[in-house]
Chain A
Amino acid sequence: MRRDIIKPLFGAWTFLVLLGLYGPFFVMATLSFTGQHGSMTFPLKDAGLFWYKFMFGMDAHGIHDPIAQHYVGSLFRSLIIALIVTFISTVLGLTAAQAFRNRFRGSGVTFYLFLMGMITPGIAIGLGQAFVYEFLLGVDKNWLTTTLISHISWTFPFCFLVLMVNFNRFDRSVEEAAACLGASHWTVYKTVTLPLLVPGLLASALFSFTLSFDEFARSVFVIGVKSTIPTMILGAQTNALRPTIYVVGTLTTVLSMTVIVILLFMIKKRVAKTKLKPGERLQEETA
Chain B
Amino acid sequence: MTVLFVIVPLAVLTLFSFLKMEHYRFRPEFTLENYAGVFADGAWVFTLETLLKTLGMAVLVLALVILGAYPIAYFLARRVRSAVLQTVILLICILPFWTSYVIRMITWVPILANTGIVNSTLLNMGIIKTPITTLLFSYKAMILVEFFLWVVFMIGPIFWVIARIPDEVMEASLNLGASRIKRFLTITLPLSVPGIATGIMFCFVMIMSDFATPKIIGGGHYFMFASFIDNSMQNSEFALAGAYSTIMTVATLLLVYLLFRTVDLKKEL
A residues bordering B, Cβ < 8 Å? 2-3, 6-7, 9-11, 13-14, 17-18, 20-25, 27-28, 31, 39-42, 92, 96, 108, 111-125, 127-129, 131-132, 134-136, 149-150, 152-153, 156-157, 161, 164-165, 168, 206-207, 210-211, 213-214, 216-217, 221, 230, 233-234, 237-238, 245-246, 249, 252-253, 256-257, 260, 264, 278-279, 281-283, 285-287
CB of B84, distance to nearest CB on chain A (Å): 9
Q: List 5 A-B contacts (CB under 8 A).
A: A6-B75, A14-B93, A116-B7, A124-B10, A285-B91
Q: Which residues on the A side are within 8 Å of B151 (C-beta)?
A: 17, 21
A118 to B205, alpha carbons, bound, how many Å? 8
Q: List the B side residues contacting A216 at CB < 8 Å.
A: 100-102, 212
Q: Which of B35-43, B45-53, B157-165, B185-193 contacts A (4 or more CB under 8 A)?
A: B157-165
The reply to whether A213 and B100 form a contact with Cβ atoms under 8 Å apart is yes
Q: Check if B102 sits within 8 Å of A21, measured CB to CB.
A: no
6 nearest A-B residue pairs (beta carbon):
A128-B9, A24-B107, A121-B209, A10-B75, A214-B100, A128-B13
In angstroms, how far is the closest chain B Cβ from the Cβ of A45? 13
Question: What is the distance, in angstroms, from B72's C-beta to the closest C-beta of chain A?
Answer: 5
B56 within 8 Å of A by Cβ?
Answer: no
Q: Check A131 against B238 for contact (C-beta < 8 Å).
A: yes
Considering the chains assembled together, what is the distance between the CA atoms of A234 and B9 in angstroms? 25
> Does B16 sit within 8 A of A, measured CB to CB?
yes
Instruction: Number of B interface residues at 8 Å Cβ cutoff, please give it.
Output: 88
The CB with the most chain B CB atoms within 10 A, among A114, A135, A216, A285, is that of A135
A153–B10 alpha-carbon span in the complex (Å):
12
Q: Are A123 and B209 in contact (CB under 8 A)?
A: yes
Q: A24-B111, A124-B209 are in contact. Are A287 and B104 (CB under 8 A)?
A: no
CB distance from A132 to the nearest CB of B (A): 5
Residue from B7, B102, B159 whose CB has the most chain A CB atoms within 10 Å: B102
Contact B102 A230 (CB under 8 A): yes
Assess whether A128 is in contact with B79, with CB atoms less than 8 Å apart: no
Residues of B within 8 A of A96 (CB): 1
Q: Is the pair B111, A286 in contact by a Cβ cutoff of 8 Å?
A: no
Contact check, B100 vs A253: say whether CB atoms are below 8 A apart: yes
Chain B residue nearest to A236 (CB atoms) is B106
Nearest to B100 among chain A residues (CB) is: A214
B72-116 residues with Cβ-Cβ distance < 8 A to A are 72, 74-76, 79, 83, 86-87, 89-96, 98-104, 106-111, 113, 115-116
User: Shortest Cβ distance from A227 into chain B, in angstroms?
Assistant: 12
Give, as a whole number of angstroms, the nearest-CB distance from A30 to chain B: 9
> Within the assembled complex, what's the spacing in Å between the Cα atoms of A255 and B6?
29
Residue from the list A127, A149, A168, A282 in contact with B269, Cβ < 8 A: A168
B105 to chain A, nearest CB (A): 9
Q: Are B208 and A135 in contact (CB under 8 A)?
A: no
Residues on A with C-beta less than 8 A from B2 are: 113-114, 116-117, 153, 156-157
For A108, what are the chain B residues with a Cβ–Cβ distance below 8 Å?
A: 266
Q: Is the CB of B16 within 8 A of A41?
A: no
**Most chain A Cβ neighbours within 10 Å, of B5, B90, B109:** B5
Tell me the smallest distance from the CB of A238 to a CB of chain B, in Å: 7
Least Cβ–Cβ distance between B71 and chain A, in angstroms: 5
Main DSSP-derived SS at the A contact region: helix
A21 touches B115 (CB 8 A): no
Shortest C-beta distance, B80 to chain A (Å), equals 9
- Asked whether A21 lies within 8 Å of B96 as measured between CB atoms, the reply is yes
> Given A153-B2, A214-B100 in contact, is the A21-B117 Cβ separation under 8 Å?
no
A237: which B residues are within 8 A, CB to CB?
Answer: 106, 216
Among candidates A6, A21, A125, A253, residue contacting B6 with C-beta atoms closer than 8 Å: A125
Q: With A238-B216, A279-B164 in contact, is A124–B245 under 8 Å at CB?
A: yes
Asked whether any CB of chain A lies closer than 8 Å to the CB of B62, the reply is: no
* Chain A residue nearest in CB terms to B108: A24
Q: A14-B93, A131-B13, A132-B12 are in contact. Are A119 and B253 (CB under 8 A)?
A: yes
Determine which residue in B1, B72, B249 has the highest number of CB atoms from chain A within 10 A of its CB, and name it: B1
Residue of B6, B92, B147 with most partner-chain A CB within 10 A: B6
What is the CA–CA distance of A258 and B163 in the complex, to the nearest angstrom? 28
Do A120 and B163 contact each other (CB < 8 Å), given the known contacts A13-B71, A285-B91?
no
Contacts A116-B6, A120-B205 given: A233-B103 contact, CB under 8 Å?
A: yes
What is the bound-complex CA distance between A149 and B10, given in angstroms? Answer: 15
Query: A277 CA to B40 CA in the complex, in Å?
Result: 60
A123 engages B226 (CB within 8 Å): yes
**For the complex, what is the distance from the CA of A264 to the CA of B248, rounded to whole Å?**
36
Besides A121-B205, A279-B164, 18 more A-B contacts (Cβ < 8 Å) are: A13-B72, A17-B72, A21-B93, A22-B96, A39-B115, A41-B113, A96-B1, A113-B7, A116-B2, A119-B205, A119-B253, A128-B245, A129-B5, A149-B5, A253-B100, A260-B99, A283-B163, A287-B269
